[in-house]
Structure 1
Amino acid sequence: MAQRRGGTQSVTERSTEPQTVADIIASGDPFSVLGPHEVAQGTWEIRAIIPDADGVSLLDRDGHSILAPMEKRLPEGLFVGVLSASERPDYRLRVQWQDRVEIQHDPYSFGTFLSYDELIQIRTPGSDAVYTKLGAHRLDLGGIQGFLFCVWAPNARRVSVVGEFNNWDGRRHPMRRRHEGGVWELFIPDVTAGQHYKFEIIGLQGNLLALKADPVAFAAEHPPATASILREKSAFEWRDGEWMKIRTRRNQRKAPISIYECHLGSWARVPEEGNRYLTYRELAVRLIPYVQDLGFTHIELLPITEYPFDGSWGYQPISLYAPTSRFGTPDDFAAFVEAAHAAGIGIILDWVPAHFPNDPHGLSYFDGTHLYEHADPRLGFHQDWGTYIYNYERQEVATFLVANARFWLEHYHLDGLRVDAVASMLYLDYSRKPGEWIPNRYGGNENLGAIDFLRRMNEVAYASAPGAITIAEESTAWPGVSHPTYTGGLGFGFKWNMGWMHDTLRYISKDPVFRRYHHHDLTFGLLYAFSENFILPLSHDEVVHGKGSLLRKMPGDRWQRFANLRAYFGFMWGHPGKKLLFMGGEFAQEQEWNHDNGLDWHLLSDPDHKGVQTLIRDLNRAYCSIPALHERDCESRGFEWIVSDDRDNSVIAWLRRGNDEDSIAVVVSNFTPVPRVGYRIGVPAPGFYSEAVNTDASIYGGSNVGNLGGILAEATPSHGFAHSLCLTIPPLATLILTFERP
């Protein structure tokens, strides 16, 4: 970053002075008028706009001696002073206000800062220039300290920095336009970290826009306040080097991944203190040990990029580079991530590049034009959500978003990004009727710009953060979502299996007497289970907006509802695919999720709820410790049907295989309340099959029907195998058995 003094500001003859202050600040280059100008040989004129000042004088560089008074040339506050000097003078301004005196450095005594190459990098996908150059960065210029402000607003007529340091007065600090990149920049000395600021923008048509938050702000005010906050470069010292090193060596497709999805604002509250949120540091002490004890490998956070409306749960973000201030400072968030890594838990962030809200202080109509969004609402407006769609075909917009993904992975050491609403990005006709969308240049409904953006984002993410993962929430049959970009895929590491979720929840909500007619809902997912690297999600979307909690979806009396849920969890953890469970599900939350309240932790005093929590802990331990349950989650050779067609008994059974020949697990589910005694299933090898998990165990709240801890295979052919097990399958239960060679 260049740091120059003087330069283009010096002239050899007096220019015609503007008639008003408005002329100066609207010029796009206030430096051509303000600051020091050599108007004759050895004569320098210093000009400054300081509205409402009673008087201004020029001081020496140390701020001790008055060199010359400054004359008020325009009533709006243009002050001019004259100095005799053989070279460009070094000075300070003494400003007399009605109630105080301030000594300032003149922002207009500095030259340009961003080089031509840096301006080009700002629009180069994959570069980190968006967050290392744009935004507000603290500089120390030979003892002169302040912040360099840079913002992309190519169509604006004028951009000013406003904040508490200049009484939010747009006349005080108009910025310089850098035509090479459509970027405006200004170094303001003497401002300090913690101060609030925004940008005041005159749009293309000469209209004054609502004050805009910095798109690359690194911290923001607690909503409903909307200002950006100046932030020092973080002094946080990461101590997770060992975790990061191990992560780079992990093959995530073969590793156990069990994700606890969490909304930080409603995991727990502090009722005795006004129902306030827990802070990031309090969550590090309470949430992380809890998740660690339950055996989850990752926490997935609903979006914590700063957002204005609590009811959006974070899915309508404003400041993509700022962790929400609801729970503390950016360094507090970093401490939370580090604490997770120390506990052996990865952090995944729900990331929202699909759309953004229309709040006036945000990105919409940013410089008086549709800069970040498409101008045509058929391309640029989400009818379902009332939000704007990014214009992915504009290179600067794509670069802004790709850089944001890189920022979270690199700067905050995150272990993954789950990309929200990918289907809405891929299809131009997503949730639109005929005539409400515009085909692409080939006449199709694919959003070519979004496709290119997603591929580039994934390439950059995996290159810049080895061992991290990207996950697509994609609800259609788009091919190759989790395939490499060099094969034509989108490049994600994993994809949510939304079809599995909907099919199996529909099945499990049926009364057991009718399940025989819906047996295909259990088996259909295995037809495509290995076409992508799937995650099986039971997410927040399934327990809100009148859908009821997971427990409330279960049919039958109280005992049957809990048994159904336990059997379903066992079925899920034994099924191919990584796992995701939304908070509260692990102890069978009764009420559907409410973002304004904490979870119903008192339910853990009930043995049935405590039993479900104990089951989830044991399922996670089994999943992580039994290679057959995770090593080939994404490979068809790791799965084999045993029983797929017993719809009359609602029984289903399969084999899971790991990399080693003897790495075998058997999963059996009975989705009726009738115990199946003497039920024979074939197995591939003789030996003992231990009950690693029986969801009907009394410790979970079940009836304790089972096989006394395991069963020895018999030399009786069944289901195409030479050996078989004669099982007692408990009612409404899942068994997970592991093979031990004799």
Structure 2
Amino acid sequence: MPNEVRTGIRAEEQRLASLRGGVEAVVRADHGDPFAILGMHQGGEGEPVEVRSFLPGALRVWVIDSTTGEVAGEAERVHEDGFFIAVLADRTQRFRYRLRVEFPLTTTEFEDAYRFGPVLGELDIHLLGEGTHLRAYERLGAHPREVDGVPGVAFAVWAPSARRVSVVGDFCDWDGRRLPMRKRVEVGVWEIFVPHAGVGQRYKFEIKGPGGNLLPLKADPYAFQAEMRPLTASVVHGLPHYQWQDEEWMRSRASTADRKAPVSIYEVHLGSWMRAPDEDNRFLTYAELAERLIPYVTDMGFTHIELLPITEHPFDGSWGYQPIGLYAPTSRHGTPEDFKAFVDACHRAGIGILLDWVPGHFPTDQHGLGLFDGTHLYEHADPRQGYHQDWNTLIYNFGRTEVSNFLLDNALFWLDHYRLDGLRVDAVASMLYLDYSRKEGEWIPNRFGGRENLEAIAFLKRMNELAYGNNAGAMTVAEESTSWPMVSKPTYLGGLGFGYKWNMGWMHDTLNYMSKDPIHRRYHHHDMTFGLIYQFSENFVLPLSHDEVVHGKGSLIAKMPGDDWQKFANLRAYYGFMFAHPGKKLLFMGGEFAQWREWNYNQSLDWHLLEEAPHKGIQSLIRDLNRIYRTQPALHRTDCDPSGFEWIESNDNENSVYSFLRKADDPEHVLVVVCNFTPVPRQGYRVGVPLPGRYAEVMNTDAPEYGGSGVGNAGGLDAEETSWHGRPYSLDLTIPPLGTLILERRPT
């Protein structure tokens, strides 16, 4: 054998020996840098190129020149499990290629994923590293695109501590050995372009933890679509394209969120507002909801719809508050495009859309974010910081740059890409306090020894700054149940930066009062007035939300005392008080027609009740209260301004009567509100007023059309020049039993 031949054989043996460890690692699906082994490689300039591929089940493999379509060479099997190497002796320059592969039953040609370059650019890497990539959803996740004229999908996922990450799915028979990903070590993101993968295919990530243990398959944190539960795979979709037709709304919506604007919110759980009981109780589609829900909300006079979370969630019973797919509208009602069409239809009808957004915690489902790369990546490692005892959920590590970026990016995603009009942030109190619902020894103080979660506070401030700074006319609302100061004040003044805060204290106090028998209400009189002590410390929303009609609390109508007539009258009077009280309004679905039973997420509202007059009357009342609230400046322009409210009499506990004034910009225009929370009509009840003139009865919750007894003031009465309550004029009123009156001053 000639020496040069012998030398060549030895060199080839040495080359294969040096590769053997890498080949074995790829075959075992245990290689942390598969692009260093697979694809086209060249030892040095002028040397032959070789193409390496791992194709389990393949019998023969050829390399095809993509430009000419010619066979550049056949590969040799170097491992029995299907690792092939084609040494192309007559090729000394890299070229575009594809693979022709013979399997036992077929021969096929396809592009090699390992011939394509990186997915992320240098700017992406820089911004991800900084935690300032506020459009990371355009890079991470699954994005259909074309590279070198080849259609496919670019996948990218953050898993810095993983030993190996593969994308698995319909495009690779869910075989984790087939598509191990490239690690961008600068930021811990794994990426790969998979040629000929496409929209609609299911996928997950197969991850080996740092110790080499194989984790449960993980859904894509940035997936734009997911399978219908109980299935849990992500679905390749890409950013949904849609031709918006809501330009008029977007131009003017800033005025709809202003503190001086009427904001009346209808809180809705899409899965149970209405179903199709004759079709196996199925969910309505987004298109059907647009056809039914939007005209209903418009007719009822609400200004906004607030959706319980529609971010993808595996368990119906969580109502959406334990989401796994923060970037995916739930597939229960249709596609992402269908949801965009729903939002567009709301806007074209003049209705704003708020989303209940859950950045405080996430569920422990195995396919979710928990222990995502084998470490406590998204959550705190210490359960005293990272585990919610009440909800069996995990708490985001807000102090980790990448986690904060993930959530900030998500908030902007819904406001920008889906053009939502606001976010109602769930469970803010649980985020603010390190000792939330914890006993001594069950929590870790902050660096100053305090109970405040400094990282969560910084996150919330930044979220609000970005939300308002990047989306004109959007609003943020905090569900915050404590006395944390300045929740709805700007961050530059030291506040958290929310636009509004739910007034949970008002809701608890007033419902406590209304649940009492009228004979005992005199002893709880100031439950109804206490909220005015702090009313103007925040921009408040008065919430009668889903939380008040679940877990054995009963419905709103069921909380009311007395016989059926009194229950309905109590509720009507309470609604009148609520709509006349300063603060924006929120009412959970079913409350607008006094549903008897407690809310059940698994079935439709009891729409048949509207065939009964008392329920129809409540619905008519809410419709009229919304109309008055929207058309009377005194009832909305000063919702957040103490100049717009003035007690006439707040201390008449013996009669359980309250009276107050509502005012706005015009000093000549005032509203007089009088509430009687006993079943006794009050004849000759005098209240002082500041101005003379005719006071028209624009609302009487005891009117016959609402199901009341018709006691009132014959449409209005004139002020008398009799001083009362320290005012020069007064009204000699007839106050209906369990009724609220709103009278508008009209100059003679």
**TM score, norm. by length of structure 1:** 0.97
Q: Is the 8 A contact 2:22 2:37 kept in 1?
A: no
Q: Which letter does structure 2 place at the counterpart of 1:394? A: R
Aligned partner of 1:254 among 250, 260, 265: 260
Q: Which letter does structure 2 place at the counterpart of 1:31? A: F
For the residues of structure 2 that align with 1:681 and 1:22, how far apart are their CA atoms? 91
Q: Is the 8 A contact 1:380 1:389 kept in 2?
A: yes
For the residues of structure 1 that align with 2:458 and 2:63, how far apart are their CA atoms? 55
- Shift in Å, 1:560: 0.3
Q: Which letter does structure 1 place at the counterpart of 2:342? A: F
Q: Is the 8 A contact 2:510 2:528 kept in 1?
A: yes
Is 2:31 aligned against 1:27? yes
The match for 1:280 is 286
Is 2:507 aligned against 1:505? no
Aligned partner of 1:323 among 301, 320, 329: 329
- Shift in Å, 1:51: 1.1
Is 2:405 aligned against 1:403? no
The match for 2:573 is 567
The match for 1:73 is 78
Aligned partner of 1:358 among 357, 364, 367: 364
Q: Is the 8 A contact 1:693 1:736 kept in 2?
A: yes
For the residues of structure 1 that align with 2:577 and 2:317, how far apart are their CA atoms? 33
Q: Is the 8 A contact 1:122 1:129 kept in 2?
A: no
The match for 2:61 is 56
CA displacement, residues 201-224 of structure 1 (integer Å, 9 cap, x when unaligned): 000111100000000001100011
Q: Which letter does structure 2 place at the counterpart of 1:17? A: L
Is 2:347 aligned against 1:341? yes
The match for 1:384 is 390
Deviates more, 1:45-54 or 1:76-85: 76-85
- Shift in Å, 1:127: 3.3
CA displacement, residues 270-318 of structure 1 (integer Å, 9 cap, x when unaligned): 1111000001110000001001100000000000000000000000000
For the residues of structure 1 that align with 2:301 and 2:613, how far apart are their CA atoms? 20
Deviates more, 1:107-116 or 1:258-267: 107-116
For the residues of structure 1 that align with 2:640 and 2:302, how far apart are their CA atoms? 19
CA displacement, residues 158-214 of structure 1 (integer Å, 9 cap, x when unaligned): 000000110111111101111111111111111010000000000011110000000
- Shift in Å, 1:662: 2.5
Unaligned runs of 5+ in 2: 1-14
- Shift in Å, 1:80: 1.1
CA displacement, residues 582-616 of structure 1 (integer Å, 9 cap, x when unaligned): 00000000100001110000000000000000000
Q: Aligned with 2:537: secondary structure?
A: coil
Aligned partner of 1:469 among 463, 466, 475: 475
For the residues of structure 2 that align with 1:304 and 1:534, how far apart are their CA atoms? 24
CA displacement, residues 227-279 of structure 1 (integer Å, 9 cap, x when unaligned): 00101442211111110110134551100000000000000111111000001
The match for 2:7 is none
Q: Is the 8 A contact 1:126 1:460 kept in 2?
A: no
CA displacement, residues 49-99 of structure 1 (integer Å, 9 cap, x when unaligned): 111222221112058433222111112221111223242121111122233
Residues 487-498 of structure 1: pairs in structure 2 closer than 5 A: 487-498=493-504
Q: Is the 8 A contact 1:139 1:145 kept in 2?
A: yes
Unaligned runs of 5+ in 1: 1-12
The match for 2:276 is 270
Deviates more, 1:624-633 or 1:226-235: 226-235
Q: Aligned with 1:459: secondary structure?
A: helix
CA distance change for structure 1 residues 63 and 383 in 2, over 3 Å: closer, same or farther? farther
The match for 2:225 is 219
Q: Which letter does structure 1 place at the counterpart of 2:57? A: D
CA displacement, residues 397-434 of structure 1 (integer Å, 9 cap, x when unaligned): 01100110000000000001000000000000000000
Q: Which letter does structure 2 place at the counterpart of 1:359? A: D
Q: Aligned with 2:271: secondary structure?
A: helix
Q: Is the 8 A contact 1:378 1:437 kept in 2?
A: yes
The match for 2:171 is 165
Aligned length in residues: 730
For the residues of structure 2 that align with 1:140 and 1:329, how far apart are their CA atoms? 23
The match for 2:48 is 43
CA displacement, residues 541-597 of structure 1 (integer Å, 9 cap, x when unaligned): 100111100010000001000000000000000000000000000000010000111
Q: Is the 8 A contact 1:657 1:663 kept in 2?
A: yes
- Shift in Å, 1:20: 6.4
Q: Is the 8 A contact 1:257 1:298 kept in 2?
A: yes
CA displacement, residues 438-467 of structure 1 (integer Å, 9 cap, x when unaligned): 000000000000000000000011111111
Q: Aligned with 1:735: secondary structure?
A: strand
**TM score, norm. by length of structure 2:** 0.96
Residues 415-564 of structure 1: pairs in structure 2 closer than 5 A: 415-564=421-570
For the residues of structure 1 that align with 2:405 and 2:467, how far apart are their CA atoms? 13
For the residues of structure 2 that align with 1:712 and 1:736, how far apart are their CA atoms? 14
Q: Percent identity?
A: 62
For the residues of structure 2 that align with 1:623 and 1:641, how far apart are their CA atoms? 19
Q: Which letter does structure 2 place at the counterpart of 1:132? A: E
Aligned partner of 2:622 among 616, 628, 631: 616
For the residues of structure 2 that align with 1:594 and 1:251, how far apart are their CA atoms? 31
Q: Aligned with 2:253: secondary structure?
A: helix
Deviates more, 1:134-143 or 1:692-701: 134-143
Q: Aligned with 1:470: secondary structure?
A: strand
Q: Is the 8 A contact 1:63 1:103 kept in 2?
A: no
- Shift in Å, 1:113: 2.8
C-alpha RMSD of the superposition: 1.3
The match for 2:11 is none
Q: Is the 8 A contact 1:373 1:380 kept in 2?
A: yes
Q: Which letter does structure 1 place at the counterpart of 2:37? A: V
- Shift in Å, 1:18: 2.9
For the residues of structure 2 that align with 1:508 and 1:425, how far apart are their CA atoms? 31
Q: Aligned with 1:618: secondary structure?
A: helix
Q: Is the 8 A contact 1:138 1:146 kept in 2?
A: yes
Q: Is the 8 A contact 1:127 1:403 kept in 2?
A: yes
Q: Is the 8 A contact 1:627 1:663 kept in 2?
A: no
Q: Is the 8 A contact 1:118 1:129 kept in 2?
A: no
Q: Is the 8 A contact 1:577 1:634 kept in 2?
A: yes
Q: Aligned with 1:165: secondary structure?
A: helix
Aligned partner of 2:300 among 257, 275, 294: 294
Q: Aligned with 1:482: secondary structure?
A: coil
For the residues of structure 1 that align with 2:553 and 2:105, how far apart are their CA atoms? 61
CA distance change for structure 1 residues 463 and 503 in 2, over 3 Å: closer, same or farther? same
